[in-house]
Amino acid sequence: MQASSEIRAAGKDTSRTGGRTALLDAACHSIARKGLRGLRVEEVAADAGVAPSLIYHHFGNRASLLRAALEYVGQKAAVYTTSDPNESGYDELLNTFLAEIQDETSIRENSAAWGEFRDAAVFDESLRQTLFRYTQEWIDDVAGLVRRGHDDGSILTSVDPVEAGQQLTALTEGLSTRWLAGFLDTEQARASLESGIQSHLRK
């Protein structure tokens, strides 16, 4: 059994972690609904159920909160796009991309927040490095699946892995934007995405 001082210390550590996560969740929720310009520190704190001072304690300032939220969005996407490595290279690649467009509030919000960060990076250099890193990792992951598809015969060997990564990630971001804007419903967006992937990798 822990001593009372150890229990209090463990509670404080858990509270710190939980408070930071709650703030990141609230920030991402705000960005998805109102965009980066609409994010207000006081509203984020209220949504997280904490005092505004805790934002400055964890992140220092609004700009650092935004950078941390961007990292958080990238980490969340990596979780829900995980697929079955026992599938063929083509099937794993297809299912990974289709996971980006689902009728789940958390995925819609994460995709919307990513789009807001991507657009803001045109003018905000402080976001570009993190966005570039996550985008490059995404492209590299796709390229790896294309190479695996070459090996197992599920993807044409004439397909360039890196070029496919560039084009298919761009296709997914474009369709995701139209889906989030309501120009396409989920079924239409997924069907267009699957058709585009198939025509690119299995011509």
For the structural domain made of 4-201, what CATH number should be given? Answer: 1.10.357.10
Q: What is the pLDDT of residue 17?
A: 53
Domain ranges of the chain: 4-201
Task: Give tens-digit pLDDT for 43-101.
Answer: 999 999 988 888 999 999 998 999 999 999 988 888 888 777 789 999 999 999 999 99
Evaluated on CA atoms 102, 203, 147, 161, the torsion sign reads: negative
- Write down the pTM of the prediction: 0.82
